[in-house]
Structure 1
């Protein structure tokens, strides 16, 4: 089908234009086998009312195998009913007939980029609108607007129901000027239909973000679903991960979703997420959070009725050998579980995580010391993820012993805690692409590092390109040996009685050399140092904690593991060879020759008495 001339497109109905865009998506975004499977799935799933074939909420939930326990089906259906109206968002929500489902699957799987080149790299704003509801006043105004309610026989239903209304939602100041609310996807789609500017302006601004918000409970449910779908492949079903939303695993899933939700709002004070909050937090702290939607909706492109194993002669071809799929997480850790792994994939590429992480160091197994840390971690030549969990120190309790020594080494200025007092379990981490090394005067790392917090609040602090105090692994005789991120290496210990106080960078994480205590510092007023300040918590805060566990996970495959194993074996042989050197056997000449070869005696070095 050729492109409709502009003078004809202006007079075409919305239904004709939607059909035209759906046809273009179908032809250019799908392979013939995928389109055949999509049509077959739609025919087998659709209900019929008159001449209209459409998908219902429970049908979609059953096909995608959405877990009933999450109660996420209404949230997903609300999204799809909005996205199905694309690009004419004024008509949302719509009945999900064939053309509307083409829109849904194309946008959810991000295949639209093959057609909508102009401004089509970002679906974030459209997803927000599909999840958002509006305050009561705006809903009432829209319900009185001509065209907001249409005859169901025409394939449309009344726009945003008052049942979704919430009270007193603040506007997103500066976002919804008449010229500022252009939705890139909508504009690109209408442009591809060759519709004139006047018509674009009339419809593209119908669904704005003014007064819109995503209810906190709705988004919590969606986050739980996204945690499950993040490792999903197009051929996998959610039922394969049924053990992740049952029993105690469900509580872990809920707790992780709560931590992610707290990146946007304090649920005790706010009923929902505004577009300003969504727009600030997602690109920095959760850039990949919606990636799991793509494999989930790819399921529409695989038909169970299509049997490719049969040959033309009717004889079934031999089934290919099925290789066992390795688990998402090959090792068990004290901190990292499947939910935390999925949370990490919200801001670290899942290709570096799922089925590729290896536990290099665990304090619970190898001992809490820098020596065992160095032995286990330093030979890994690929990216690593350090995780540390702890319990917040009580600022009101009297300090004794090692806790007192640690706290006395910190600057006297202390910011308030970064989260509610009743949420005192803390989890921090660092993603490092460079190999670890001992530092003296200069830190290691690069500007692709990430410092982050996972609990009780999700937050990500990207590295700076200017300040290079990224990571330091400092041994004695440094004044304060340990592991630091975002702070300059500590100076060499002086001969004075009192060592200088620890230097805390504006945004920094410090672990003492005994792996007993740690501190995270966030000096927002400084505007950041080696790591950027939080985009959601625009305040000064500090977390002092006793360390419960430390883990380091290596990102890599079999080749990285082989290199590390060979290095460990070489070091073991060298240690054994040194242990077997036995001087003082009685052969003075032989012992002296060996010491001279080692450079320990000879010249002006006497080496001591051999007799």
Structure 2
């Protein structure tokens, strides 16, 4: 009998039992006892009760998280959490948001799941896509037809030269020949499989919980609203109220927030022709161009873990009333997100940068080192302001596109400065990067992790050097391991053929013989060039070339080039007070040295006295002759 019983297969637990077990595991492993106690108290104070079921409604969550009504993002967030609340049985979504479901939501939205689901669960990209997506066969078919049409138009734009994997300028498309119902390589969500494996239920539920993305897409308008919210919450700290950033939601600030969101949205689709974003685009763009896009959710959803009713910072003595705070004790006033004002950099640009650069080195830690508007557009001023900064820097340049040579209103003569700059570039053969823009304004930038220095035969910049475009389309070009010609700084001299600042181009000392004799600048496959007067710039993306210092775009799989007149140029230093102190000390030392040289009064006739002065200044002595004094 014992053998017969042991041979019987035990029935797998129900969905409800598994969900409860996983919620308990998440609660025990991913939260402290105080956080869990706070979550229960917050849920109790917010939940509605219907037929003995306690749950959270959309407006309750929106009000608690302080999501601004003007953004219209509350329904989008509620759709996300209702889907994630059904984890790991995602096909049962939307879920009623009880306490167990909210534990799932908070664990996943704050990435605390990594503490127990590290194996095979490195990201949540697919889960977030599915939480935002809707299924609409008609819209999906329309999107597929639009993409095929614009694919053909793109091929016609390349002067009769068909470009593999190309697309219409202005937005990304899937690979040519892709079926409209293409799904990811893995139909099963990695997070789901890791959750089942952690409870030894993998085999019991692996086949049952298959979840595909056939025909689903994220509506463009929903994603726009979400991006605006993510820009707003990007600098949010735990327990910080969103009301602190209310000033970003009025007047010009709101319009600037919306325009920044449009630049990011343009990386995923052409909003004028495509109804939504499919998984293949989402999955290829997010890891490269926007890896930290959803980081703001961490602080936003951690609000559930801090209950005002459980404030242990206040203590009461027996028989005594609560002690009143000392009025002399200064209140903590948070530092502004940006300590300096720039013509390009603002809070929304800063938030946009934090989507692909670590926010810990950006918010409240940037200092304006150089501004062309304030310090003059010259390489000498640039050098004096930037070269002493011993921490990473961010270059931002904004300009207006130069008119196409064949475009309307183009005059062959043009300005002499523009003609001189254009003459140094190879003949133009690529179109602009996008053609549906309402303006010709472009903004590019670069992140450099090393201090700036002069270059002749060897460039500088480590593996973390990054080129990017912020406007009119968000795009990121990461450093390649095939080429180290990442950043150069060459002042005008007889030995420098093409002085200026460049990224992705070989230094002047490495220029090939053909380029040197032709007098043309050697542009890298993916490169940004600024001339020595900081009047003009050129960004090149030669998609068909390989071996450049920066990788090709995952957003625009075609050739393009942007030539522009520089309007603003800024360098921002990443760092805090320590880095600023080192720079100030270096500036002070250089000022003392310059003053010492200025005060040396030679030609008095007393050669020994003059020599003593030079030795005191450190200009001669030891192995230095100092030249003839006779």
What TM-score do the two structures reach when normalised by structure 1?
0.88
Which residue pairs with 2:44 in the alignment?
A: 43
Structure 1 partner of 2:175: none
2:364 alignment partner in structure 1: 355
**Partners of 1:41 and 1:74 in 2: CA distance:** 21
Distance 2:73 2:238 in 1: 20
- Whether the 8 Å CA contact 2:467–2:477 is kept in 1: the answer is yes
- The Cα of 1:48 is off from its aligned counterpart by 1.1
- Is 1:310 the counterpart of 2:339 in the alignment? no
Q: Which residues in structure 2 correspond to 1:588-607 (within 5 Å)?
A: 590-591=609-610, 607=628
Q: Matched residues in 1 for 2:379 and 2:619: separation?
A: 29
Aligned partners of 1:531 and 1:606: how far apart in 2? 47
How is 1:194-343 mapped onto 2 (pairs within 5 angstroms)?
194-195=200-201, 197-203=203-209, 205=210, 207-308=211-312, 309-311=314-316, 313=318, 315-317=321-323, 319=325, 322-343=331-352
Secondary structure of 1:542's partner?
strand
- For residues 624 and 26 of structure 2, the distance between their equivalents in structure 1, rounded to whole angstroms, comes to 83
CA contact (8 A) 1:467 1:529 kept: yes
Match of 1:522 in 2: 541
Partner of 2:399: 390
Q: Deviations over 1:114-133 (max 9, x none)?
A: 22232222111100100001
Q: Distance in 1 between the 2:48 and 2:627 partners?
A: 97
Q: Note closer, same or farther for the CA distance 1:591–1:37 as it changes in structure 2 (3 Å cut).
A: closer
| Deviations, residues 120-163 of structure 1 (Å, cap 9, x unaligned) | 22111100100001114799xxxxxxxxxxxxxxxxxxxxxxxx
- Distance in 2 (CA, whole Å) between partners of 1:606 and 1:86 is 80
- Is residue 2:163 matched to residue 1:182? no
* 2:490 and 2:499 in contact (8 A); partners too: yes
Instruction: Find the aligned partners of 1:90 and 1:598 in 2 and give their Cα distance.
Output: 78
Give the structure 1 partner of residue 387 of structure 2.
378
Contact 2:377 2:534 in 1 (8 A): yes
Q: Is the Cα–Cα contact under 8 Å of residues 84 and 92 in structure 1 kept in the other structure?
A: yes
Q: Deviations over 1:299-340 (max 9, x none)?
A: 000111123203352642564753221111110011000000
Q: Is 1:559 equivalent to 2:578 in the alignment?
A: yes
**Could you say which residue in structure 2 is the equivalent of 1:447?**
463
- Tell me how many residue pairs correspond in the alignment: 569
- Is 1:364–2:373 an aligned residue pair? yes
Q: Which runs of 5+ in 1 are unaligned?
A: 140-169
Q: Secondary structure at the match of 1:525?
A: coil
Conservation of the 8 A alpha-carbon contact between 2:483 and 2:547: no
CA contact (8 A) 2:137 2:215 kept: no
2:206 is paired with a residue whose SS is helix
Measured against aligned partners, the alpha-carbon deviations of 1:69-104 in whole angstroms (never above 9, x if no partner) come to: 000000000001100100001111111111111111
Shift of 1:194: 2.2
Structure 2 CA distance for partners of 1:590 and 1:187, relative to 1, 3 Å: same
Shift of 1:423: 3.2
Aligned position for 1:61: 62
- What is the RMSD of the two structures over their aligned residues, measured on CA atoms? 2.7
Aligned pairs for 1:544-555 (under 5 A) are 544-555=563-574
2:284 is paired with a residue whose SS is helix
- The 1:467/1:546 distance shift into structure 2, 3 A limit, reads same
* 1:160 corresponds to: none
2:151 match: none
Q: 1:137 to 1:447 in 2, by over 3 A?
A: same
Q: Distance in 1 between matches of 2:440 and 2:139?
A: 40
SS in 1 for 2:277: strand
Q: TM-score, normalised by structure 2?
A: 0.85
- Cα separation, partners in 2 of 1:464 and 1:436, compared to 1, 3 Å: same
**What is the deviation of 1:500?**
1.1
**329-338 vs 311-320, greater mean Cα deviation:** 311-320
SS where residue 453 of structure 2 aligns? Answer: coil
1:10 and 1:195 in contact (8 A); partners too:
no
Residue aligning to 1:543: 562
Report the 3-state secondary structure (helix = DSSP H, G, I; strand = E; otherwise coil) of the residue aligned with 2:108: helix
Moved over 6 A (4+): 5-9, 496-499, 592-597, 602-606
Q: Corresponding residue for 1:157?
A: none
Cα distance in 1 for partners of 2:91, 2:10 equals 18
1:26 is the counterpart of 2:45: no
